Chains A and B, each alone.
Chain A
């Protein structure tokens, strides 16, 4: 896949020493890299550690290699996030995700009623539980494609598969999530 020309220019400018190119690349990917790390690790703290280390390694790679990272900066960065998250899980010997993932504690003041909020939390807990039970590769493709809007071609690079295989994997993962979600939701008291 050909990297985005604007991004390729940013990488070249970063390599030439332009701090603004570094900041722009970081801004483009900060939320998404952290978003992927949050879904693949146990705590927000672990996710931030993984995302930060992934950025450091991705920029080192961009600085030292000739040419743009193959296929673009984003897929490279996401692949590093994925690998580091797997290392983190191995260290902790824990499955991925907790039910107290970030965001659940922040309630808007003029938001839903308490009953709606209870329902939303239960729904969220059921979804997290369903996602938690999926194989890591399925969770990764769902996070990349459904939550972070990463195109299949780029997700394929992160997963080390062809775009067609990534699409097929995405479909199977979504079906599995639906079935697990329905099962978990059905088990809620």
Chain B
């Protein structure tokens, strides 16, 4: 494998999105090419730092309540689904006391 071929495979490799055989070829190349190994490692690190530092945004309860309230008023056609009519006889056991 050449560095030129690696260029197209680097993104999928960092995303762990390559078939096993291609992945093995990529890793064999990384063992012998310092430039591509540096590229791969630094992209991994950038991705990891991004996820660790900026990864989690949690919607607050206030935002959820406010937005749901607005959605409900904007969609007056929605309502609680009606419970199916229940016939008490369906729960009667077929035994005689």
A interface residue numbers (CB < 8 A to B): 14, 17-23, 26, 30-31, 34-35, 38-39, 48, 51-52, 55-56, 59-60, 63, 101-103, 120, 123-124, 127-128, 131, 142, 146-147, 167-168, 170-171, 174-175, 177-178, 181-182
Write the residues of chain B forming the contact surface with A, with a CB cutoff of 8 angstroms: 10-12, 14, 42-43, 45-47, 49-51, 53-59, 63-64, 66-68, 70-72, 74-75, 77-81
Supply 9 further A-B pairs (C-beta < 8 A) apart from A103-B57, A171-B10: A17-B77, A21-B78, A22-B75, A26-B71, A59-B75, A103-B56, A127-B53, A170-B11, A177-B50
Q: A48-B63, A178-B42 are in contact. Are A17 and B14 (CB under 8 A)?
A: no
B6 to chain A, nearest CB (A): 12
In whole Å, how far is A92's beta carbon from the nearest beta carbon of chain B? 20
B9 to chain A, nearest CB (A): 10
B56, B59, B77 — most chain A CB neighbours (10 Å) = B59
Compute how far the CA of A174 lies from the CA of B71 in the bound complex, rounded to whole angstroms.
36
| Contact status A123-B78, CB under 8 Å | no
**Can you report 24 residue pairs joining A to B where beta carbons are below 8 Å apart?**
A17-B77, A18-B78, A18-B81, A21-B78, A26-B71, A30-B67, A31-B58, A31-B59, A34-B63, A48-B63, A56-B70, A56-B71, A59-B74, A101-B54, A124-B54, A142-B50, A147-B54, A147-B55, A167-B11, A171-B11, A171-B14, A174-B14, A175-B43, A178-B42
Given A127-B49, A147-B51, A56–B74 Cβ distance below 8 Å?
yes
The chain A residue sitting closest to B74, CB to CB, is A56
**Which of B42, B56, B66, B79 is within 8 Å of A19, CB to CB?**
B79
Chain A positions within 8 Å of B59 at CB level: 30-31, 34, 51
- Across chains A and B, the number of contacting residue pairs, with CB separation under 8 Å, is 106
**In the bound complex, do residue B43 and residue A178 qualify as a contact, i.e. CB atoms below 8 Å apart?**
yes
A127 touches B78 (CB 8 A): no
Of the candidates A55, A101, A102, A177, the one whose C-beta lies within 8 Å of that of B67 is A55
CA distance A134 to B10 in the complex (A): 21
The 5 closest A-B pairs by CB, nearest first: A171-B11, A35-B57, A178-B46, A30-B59, A19-B78
Is the Cβ of A51 less than 8 Å from the Cβ of B67?
A: yes
Q: When the two chains form their complex, are residues A123 and B11 in contact, meaning their CB atoms are under 8 A apart?
A: no
CA distance A175 to B44 in the complex (A): 10
Q: For A59, what are the chain B residues with a Cβ–Cβ distance below 8 Å? A: 71, 74-75
A35 to chain B, nearest CB (A): 4
Q: Which residues of A contact B63 (CB under 8 A)?
A: 30, 34, 48, 51-52
Residues of B near A31 (CB, < 8 A) are: 57-59
A48, B60: Cα distance in complex, Å: 10
Look across to chain A and name the residue whose beta carbon is closest to the beta carbon of B55: A147
